[in-house]
Structure 1
Amino acid sequence: MDNLIKLLVEYGMFGIMLVAFAEAIFLPLPMEVVSIPIYLLRPENAFFYSVVLIAFSILGSIAGYYLGKAFGKPLLNKFISEGNFNRIKELYSRNSFLAILTSSFTPIPYEAYVLSAGVFNIGFKKFILASIISRAIRHLPQGILITIYGDTILTHLKSYTLVVCLVIFSALILIKKLLKRQP
């Protein structure tokens, strides 16, 4: 795995594009193991690289959505009953926007949300909007901070990890409350 990561980092932006596309479908490799080393090699381009990462992640998400839509239900029907499938679909459909929106901050791989959106036939526009916001929330700050601070940001992040986690958690609670207010 280390050799693959080194190879992807050597490819620079093309490595980011490949991993971002694949991560949204089947790659359980966190983007940061490839993107951050590339950002740090050329900090002045980190913001641009993060935008490219988001764009290719969305393209991969679209592919994953349609793969889930085409092959997911027949595959799931081999493992769960139609009744259980419908119950899961109902639960996921009720909370799909929030689930996809917060997917960047859960231990469940993003590709599980992408494929599930296709399997359970979540509205495509809702899926894309939530995916764009989710990917931007996760990846833009990294590009912005590394563009501004370079590798010194890593020292600061280590010192303030708890504060950053609390801010993210609070923001998620606020988003959830705001979404509940909508008719």
Structure 2
Amino acid sequence: MLRRLYDWTMSLAARRSAEVWLAIIAFVESSIFLVPADVLFVPMALARPQRVWRYALVATVFSVLGGIAGWYLGHYAYESIAKPILEFYGKLDAFEQLKASVDYETIVLLLVTSGLAHLPPIKVVTILSGAVNIDLTLFIISAIVARGARFFLLAWLLQRYGESIRHFIEKRLGLLTGVVAGIMIVAFIGYRLVH
């Protein structure tokens, strides 16, 4: 099923309505959808390199708006909507453990790491942020920085290296951003232990 969903998302890049689909996928990825917007963003940027910065802006804006929707789900509709969504994806137990064990600073760190590298998945963190009542303004600023960094970095790589970077992005960018996110987590833990 996941492969079919991935293939369907990739097929959207060839459509005239690709930019609208990018906005939709970026929005729902941040709150309920499984496939990241990068899957659509990369082929669109390669097909029309002159629009790469526009696509990065669209993906960032709608990803942040989707994150805000996820925050509202967690804050106002956890029991009725968010909990069944998390249960559907098999993330409810992990979510409940995370919810019980995190503090404000950890949530901010998770916002950045999930925005950059999907560690943990962005939809889990947006819902968690609302459920534990993270300040919405701080949430929005963190989402803009993290998601903007991800999409604009992709845009820069695609514009600079074109098709030759596609394989690297599809295979290794997740690993690379995961390593950066891991370093941030270790630095945060080290900081917490020292203080």
The answer, yes or no, to whether TM exceeds 0.5 is: yes
Question: What's the offset of the Cα at 1:19?
Answer: 0.5
Q: Does 1:71 pair with 2:82? A: no
| TM-score (norm: length of structure 2) | 0.72
Q: Distance in 2 between matches of 1:62 and 1:162?
A: 24
The match for 1:29 among 31, 35, 55 is 35
Letter in 2 for 1:98: L
Question: What's the offset of the Cα at 1:70?
Answer: 1.1
The structure-2 alpha-carbon separation of the partners of 1:6 and 1:145, relative to structure 1 and needing over 3 Å to count, comes to same
The structure-2 alpha-carbon separation of the partners of 1:87 and 1:114, relative to structure 1 and needing over 3 Å to count, comes to closer
The match for 1:99 among 110, 118, 138 is 110
The match for 2:141 among 129, 134, 140 is 129
SS at match of 1:29: coil
Letter in 2 for 1:40: L
**Please, which runs of 5 or more residues in structure 2 have no aligned partner?**
88-95
The match for 2:60 among 46, 54, 60 is 54
Task: After superposition, give the CA deviation of every residue in 1:108-139 in whole Å (9 maximum; x if it has no partner).
Answer: 32111011111111111111111111102221
Question: What's the offset of the Cα at 1:142?
Answer: 0.6
Paired residue total? 175
The structure-2 alpha-carbon separation of the partners of 1:177 and 1:43, relative to structure 1 and needing over 3 Å to count, comes to farther
For the Cα contact (< 8 Å) 1:73–1:119, is it kept in 2?
no
SS at match of 1:139: helix
2:90 paired residue number? none
Question: What's the offset of the Cα at 1:99?
Answer: 1.1
The structure-2 alpha-carbon separation of the partners of 1:23 and 1:87, relative to structure 1 and needing over 3 Å to count, comes to closer
The structure-2 alpha-carbon separation of the partners of 1:170 and 1:27, relative to structure 1 and needing over 3 Å to count, comes to closer
Higher mean Cα deviation, 40-49 or 106-115?
106-115
Q: Distance in 1 between matches of 2:62 and 2:111?
A: 17
The structure-2 alpha-carbon separation of the partners of 1:51 and 1:176, relative to structure 1 and needing over 3 Å to count, comes to farther
Alpha-carbon RMSD across the aligned residues, in angstroms, is 3.4
| TM-score (norm: length of structure 1) | 0.77
Q: Distance in 2 between matches of 1:147 and 1:153?
A: 9
Letter in 1 for 2:108: F
Higher mean Cα deviation, 8-17 or 115-124?
8-17
For the Cα contact (< 8 Å) 1:48–1:143, is it kept in 2?
no
Letter in 2 for 1:118: G
State, as a whole percentage, how many aligned pairs show the same letter. 24
Letter in 1 for 2:133: N
For the Cα contact (< 8 Å) 1:9–1:34, is it kept in 2?
no
The structure-2 alpha-carbon separation of the partners of 1:59 and 1:157, relative to structure 1 and needing over 3 Å to count, comes to closer
Q: Distance in 2 between matches of 1:164 and 1:98?
A: 17
Which has the larger Rg? 1
Question: What's the offset of the Cα at 1:179?
Answer: 7.6
For the Cα contact (< 8 Å) 1:21–1:60, is it kept in 2?
yes
